[in-house]
A and B are shown apart, each in its own frame.
Chain A
């Protein structure tokens, strides 16, 4: 491996890295919001919306992100909906992630024993208070390991963005291999940057999992 080549590749990879994490984290934030809304709608059995949320979750959990992106980016403009590549990446990741997060939050909410709610109500808290102060914090705590797993999964999924011509890490690697044939160097940088992106999250995830273990209600 040639260190000079690695050095010359660095700026391009750094730029691609920033783009990848920007879209990745925006998408994850969107996934959080969509997932939370969808889980509430399903948990509180809100008529009509509950159905829609249920269909949405099944549809997006059972299709690959790549196919979703192709449809949003290449298909939707044909019926007049044009979305920029970056927005499309965020939206695609948000929709995919939202369906996973929804399942995670929903099972978190379901896992809270009824006694928690009954006790809080009998202490004179209002329904709103019970949900905000008791149920939601507990449900989120229970969900921490699954949320961490989802975040890692979604960050890995960012690797398909090059298909909608975003200049992300994969795109950069493929481009450089095609241009200069320094395959080893290009692949090394690719692995390096994905490790920088995912290793801290993976370590934080396992720390968070250990912290919340044994702090579940009713245990």
Chain B
């Protein structure tokens, strides 16, 4: 069935390293998206016309364009149009952060919109300034609503990083391909075992995270 090839040499270790290459890109992008998304979401909630229009356009682009297309635009387009030579990994980080920031800001905006106005008014009447109001009153309240949703976004980002192989980054699928190619003679059926293993590895990376998200959502429902 082609599983034997996994125990040859350090093939399994190489697969895991490939998975880590993909996970690392998603984790960095997630971190960037969380910070920038929170800032953008608050900015949008201040209801400045220009900011609202721009963020709306940003969000629509991200919603309509497949991440794969965005990757192509940055990876192939930037060098052509801007004359920049951006590595595949940097392109991936730019695209996933661009996408994540937009989605995250919309989650923040939605959560902020759900906070009753009286929370702000009470806070001001107690003498808090707007910054203090956000820091001590509003943000702690939206965090609960946001955490399950952002964890959900994280699993989506992890799954989407599998696309980076299409712009030539060596991640788990690519390593799998290499292993299959190298053992073409000795294990002709390696494709079955290797791709099934990659399938299971992705599942093991995402499943616990989405369980956590569901658990927190239920726990913090009220």
Chain A residues with a Cβ under 8 A of chain B: 58-59, 61-64, 66-68, 70-71, 74-79, 152, 156-160, 162-163, 170, 173-174, 177, 183-184, 187, 190-191, 194-195, 198-199, 202
Q: Are B76 and A187 in contact (CB under 8 A)?
A: yes
* Chain A residues positioned under 8 Å from B202 (CB to CB): 62-64, 67
Cβ-defined partner of A78 (8 Å) among B2, B73, B163, B203: B2
Binds A, one of B50-58, B140-148, B187-195: B187-195
- Is A177 a contact of B192 with CB atoms below 8 Å? no
Partner of A191, one of B67, B69, B198, B203: B69
**Which residues of B (61-97) have their CB < 8 Å from a CB of A?**
63-69, 72-73, 76-77, 79-81
In the complex the two chains form, what is the Cα distance from A67 to B206 in whole Å?
13
Q: How many A-B residue pairs have CB under 8 A?
A: 115
Q: Bound state CA distance, A66 and B203, in angstroms?
A: 13
- 1/0 per position for B155-167, CB-CB distance to A under 8 A? 1000110110110
Q: Which residue of A lies closest to B206 (CB)?
A: A62
Contact assessment for A156 and B77 in the assembled complex, using a CB-CB cutoff below 8 Å: no
Measured CB to CB, the nearest residue on chain B to A201 is B64
Q: How many residues of B contact A (CB 8 A)?
A: 43
- Chain B interface residues (CB < 8 Å from chain A): 1-2, 60, 63-69, 72-73, 76-77, 79-81, 155, 159-160, 162-163, 165-166, 173, 176, 180, 188-196, 198-199, 202-203, 206-207, 210
